[in-house]
Amino acid sequence: MKIEGLENQIGVVRPETVKDRGFMDKLMESLQKVDETQALADKKFEQFLVGKADSVDLISSLNKAELSFKMLVEVRDKLVSALHELLRMQV
């Protein structure tokens, strides 16, 4: 398996291809990707119910959606924790 193909498949972005974007832009892009993953899992589930998708595709899509959502929640928790830490700092 070639590394380049794997990077493209999971959405890895090389530093030299990233333009100067702000943190908010990157966060919004990540939210959009999670939303797309959830929508794809919903679509696969509907296709499975009418017999147009097999169970392997369905399980794969559901697992990917669950994992991306769990990662999003972890990032949110870290951001909230960092904010609380900043608020506790004395100036």
Report yes or no on 56 lying in a domain: yes
Place of tokens 């993953």: 37
Stated pTM of the model = 0.68
Separation between Cα atoms, residue 30 and residue 8, nearest integer Å: 16
Residue 59 lies in domain = 20-88
Question: Would you say residue 64 lies in a domain?
Answer: yes
Collect the ranges in the chain with pLDDT lower than 50: 1-3, 6
Per the CB < 8 A criterion, the answer to whether 61 and 41 are in contact is yes
Of all residues in the chain, what percent are helix, strand and coil, respectively (each to 5)? 80, 0, 20
In a domain, 78, yes or no: yes
Q: Residue 4: what pLDDT?
A: 54
Question: Is residue 65 domain-resident?
Answer: yes
Q: Let me know if residue 45 belongs to a domain.
A: yes
How many domains is the chain partitioned into structurally? Answer: 1
Judge whether 8 lies within some domain.
Answer: no
Evaluate whether residue 79 is within a structural domain.
yes
CA distance 71 to 9: 18
Nearest CA to 64 out of 24, 25, 3, 11 is that of: 11
